[in-house]
C-alpha cells in the first residue's frame, strides 16, 4: 500500500494535543505497513490522541475489507509509545482474524482417517 493513497484513508487527530508532522507520518506509515501485511485493502483508519493527566491516550481504529472495525487503545507518558502499543494490539486482532479465516476450511475425511490409522492415502488411479 503506498503512502499517497493511505493519506486519504488514514486520519490522525487530537482533541487537546498539538501533534507534530513526524508523529502523523509515523502513524500513517505504521498503519500502511500493518494494512499491507495482513489484508491489503484498507477502507478507513483513524488515530486519536488525547491527554489524560501526565499520560497520553492513543486510540487506533482500522477497518479493512469486509471485516469489522478493529480498535485498540493504550496509555503512556510518551505519545509515540502509546501509539506503538495500540497499533500492536490492533495488529494482533488482524492476525487472529486472518488466521481464523484461513483455518476455516473443511477437513478431508478420507485423508484424516488414513493418517489416524497410520496408513498413507492410496492414490486414485
Chain-centre distance of CA 78, in angstroms?
Answer: 21
Q: Concatenated DSSP letters for 77-99?
A: SSHHHHHHHHHHHHHHHHHHHHH
Range of the domain at 39: 3-113
How many structural domains are present in the chain?
1
In a domain, 63, yes or no: yes
pLDDT in tens, 69-110: 999 999 999 999 999 999 999 999 999 988 888 776 666 666
**77, 54 in Cβ contact below 8 A?**
yes
User: How crowded is the C-beta side of 65, counted as CA atoms within 13 Å?
Assistant: 12
CATH of the domain at 16: 3.30.160.100
In a domain, 41, yes or no: yes
Fill in the DSSP letter of residue 73. Answer: E
SS3 (DSSP) at 117: helix
pLDDT in tens, 32-60: 999 888 887 889 999 999 998 999 999 99
In a domain, 120, yes or no: no
Sign of CA dihedral 51, 14, 11, 71: positive
In a domain, 118, yes or no: no
Count of other CB atoms within 10 angstroms of residue 4: 7
| Region 62-69 average pLDDT | 89
Q: Give the H or E element holding residue 63.
A: strand 55-64
In a domain, 14, yes or no: yes
Question: How much is the pLDDT for 27?
Answer: 93
Amino acid at each position: 500500500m503506498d503512502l499517497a493513497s493511505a493519506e486519504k484513508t488514514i486520519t490522525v487527530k487530537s482533541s487537546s494535543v498539538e501533534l507534530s508532522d513526524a508523529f502523523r507520518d509515523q502513524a500513517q506509515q505504521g498503519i500502511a505497513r500493518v494494512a499491507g501485511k495482513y489484508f491489503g485493502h484498507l477502507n478507513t483508519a483513524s488515530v486519536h490522541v488525547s491527554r489524560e493527566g501526565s499520560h497520553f491516550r492513543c486510540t487506533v481504529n482500522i477497518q479493512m475489507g469486509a471485516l469489522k472495525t478493529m480498535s485498540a487503545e493504550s496509555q503512556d507518558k510518551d505519545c509515540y509509545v502509546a501509539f506503538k502499543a495500540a497499533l500492536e494490539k490492533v495488529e494482533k486482532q488482524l492476525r487472529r482474524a486472518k488466521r481464523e479465516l484461513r483455518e476455516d476450511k473443511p477437513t478431508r475425511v478420507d485423508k484424516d482417517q488414513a493418517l489416524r490409522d497410520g496408513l498413507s492415502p492410496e492414490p486414485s488411479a
